[in-house]
Amino acid sequence: MVSPLFASFARHAIDADGIRINVRTAGDGPPVLLLHGYPQTHSIWHLVAPRLAETNTVVLTDLRGYGDSDKPPSDAGHTPYSKRAMAHDQRLVMQELGFKRFAVVGHDRGGRVAHRLALDHPQAVSALAVLDIVPTRHAYQHADADFGRGYYHWFFLTAGNDIPERLIGGDPEFWIRARMGARHHGGTPFDPAAQAEYVRCFSNPAAIHASCEDYRAAGSIDLVHDEEDATADRRITAPLLALWGEHSFVGRHYDVRSAWSEYAEDVRGAALPCDHYLPEEAPDETVDHLRAFLTALHWA
């Protein structure tokens, strides 16, 4: 079925080493991969992707565990939901579409997958944009009481014994609408069709479990990988654009450019007039910054 949000986009189901990834594509020109966050799907880009497709080949995916992509079983070490495994999926998707080198833009969890993609496959990533995040390792290293209150879901979702799965599963629509509503500040309202998609996909118990595994991996195996990179002084070599909401927790609690400068060689960035959901709250500003960034790199 063609989503009314992406009527002009072709839909694909691409096999990434046995994991089926839901993909949409449109446009022509230099390729750019857009990755969503929690608890969204690729639908978060519905106001951004069609405009970027005027100048670029745009690829939208649902991360493994989310949306209409596969939700593989996990293990005791949460390895299937490590950002390394999720990044591997995305590289294979782009290869299958014929793109050996591409730009990648990630919001929230998608930004963490994009970060890992740029580290593990620097030959594939021409440019990286991360939306409203600082590096996972940096966030944990600087966690305090304010972090615990603002990002309580990082700890709640990692709880064992199926506690978050059972509690969220009791009313997934409430969880999504409440969580998103708490992190919206002015700007464009959430589109009802997009929110309906988030609710539809997240109402699947397998999606709730997979997303918890994503967060469990972030607090365990992902940190191991991040420490290995730090010890080896591996940094992102692709140009990096950081965008954040001036009203978001990230914007209010971190020096975002400085944080990313510890992990990347070439960092630029800006705050946008919104909270956490930049592609939905501030789509015009998001498009303007991404288009300027991608165009400058293309003609450099």
Q: Is 229 one of the annotated active-site residues of the chain?
A: no
* Per-residue pLDDT at 186: 82
On whether the pTM is more than 0.75, the answer is: yes
Residue 21, pLDDT above cutoff 90: yes
Residues 250-289 have pLDDT tens digits of 999 999 999 999 999 999 999 999 999 999 999 999 999 9
For range 118-147, the mean pLDDT:
97
Residue 3, pLDDT above cutoff 70: no
What is the DSSP-derived secondary structure letter of residue 190?
P
Residue 122, pLDDT above cutoff 70: yes
For range 222-234, the mean pLDDT:
97
Rounded CA-CA distance 37/63 in Å is 9
Residues 45-81 have pLDDT tens digits of 999 999 999 999 999 999 999 999 999 999 999 999 9
Span 4-299: which CATH code?
3.40.50.1820
Q: Is 15 one of the annotated active-site residues of the chain?
A: no
Rounded CA-CA distance 221/83 in Å is 9
- Enumerate the domain spans of the chain: 4-299
Average pLDDT of the chain? 96
**Catalytic pick among 108, 132, 229, 275:** 108
User: Which ranges of the chain would DSSP assign to H, the alpha helix?
Assistant: 49-52, 83-96, 109-120, 136-141, 145-150, 152-156, 163-169, 172-181, 192-202, 205-218, 221-231, 249-253, 256-261, 278-281, 283-299
What is the DSSP-derived secondary structure letter of residue 245?
E
Residue 298, pLDDT above cutoff 70: no
Q: In Å, how far are 126, 192, 231, 280 from 267, measured between CA atoms?
A: 14, 35, 21, 24
Rounded CA-CA distance 162/8 in Å is 39
* Per-residue pLDDT at 109: 98
Rounded CA-CA distance 177/123 in Å is 39
Hey, what are 78's tokens? 């949460």
**190-213: buried (b, 16+ CB within 10 Å) or exposed (e) per residue?**
beeebbebbbbbbebeebbbbbbb
Q: Are 152 and 215 in contact (CB under 8 A)?
A: no
* Per-residue pLDDT at 300: 45
Q: Would strands 31-35 and 125-131 be described as parallel, antiparallel, or unpaired?
A: unpaired
